Amino acid sequence: MRKLHQRIQSPAALFAFEAAARLRSFTAAAKELNVSQPAVSLSVKKLETALGSALFERGHRAITLTEAGERFFADVSFGLMHILNSAEAVASRPTEEYVSLSCSTAFAHYWMLPRLTTFRRDNPDIDIRLQTTDKDIDIADEALSFAIRLGSGNWPGYRCLRLGPEQIYPVCSPAYLAGNGTPESDTDLMSHRLIHLDEPHRPRAGWREWFAEQGLEFADTGGGLRFNDYALVIQAAIAGEGVACGWHHIVEILVKQGLLLRVGTGLYDIGQGHYVLWPAHGPLGPKASRVLEWLRATVN
What pLDDT does residue 92 have? 47
Q: Measure the N-to-C terminal CA separation of the chain; round to a whole number of Å.
A: 45
Residue ranges in the chain assigned as alpha helix (H): 2-7, 11-23, 26-33, 37-51, 67-91, 105-107, 113-122, 174-180, 186-189, 207-213, 230-238, 248-257, 286-298
pLDDT tens-digit profile of 109-150? 889 888 888 898 889 999 998 888 777 777 777 778 899 988
What pLDDT does residue 45 have? 92
Cα 158 from chain centre: 26
> What is residue 1's DSSP assignment?
-
- Strand ranges, E, within 99-231: 99-103, 128-132, 146-151, 158-172, 194-197, 225-227
Provide the β-strand partners of residue 251: none
d(CA 89, CA 145): 16
What pLDDT does residue 96 have? 42
What pLDDT does residue 300 have? 63
Domains of the chain: 2-68 (1.10.10.10), 97-300 (3.40.190.290)
Q: How far is CA 106 from CA 103, 122, 295, in A?
A: 8, 24, 17
d(CA 106, CA 61): 32
Provide the β-strand partners of residue 279: 158
Cα 120 from chain centre: 18
From the number of C-beta atoms within 10 Å of its C-beta (0-12, 13-18, 19+), residue 42 rates as: middle
Residue 109 near residue 77, CB atoms below 8 Å: yes
Q: Which of 62, 138, 71, 130 is nearest to 101 (CA)?
A: 130
Residues sharing a CB contact under 8 Å with residue 65, sequence separation 6 or more, in sequence order? 21, 55, 56, 57, 73, 259
Average pLDDT of adjacent 10-residue blocks, the chain of 300 residues: 67 89 92 92 91 89 89 88 71 60 89 88 90 77 85 89 91 94 90 88 83 89 83 93 93 92 90 89 86 86
What pLDDT does residue 94 have? 40
pLDDT tens-digit profile of 38-52? 999 999 999 998 888
Phi/psi of residue 74, nearest 5 degrees = -60, -45
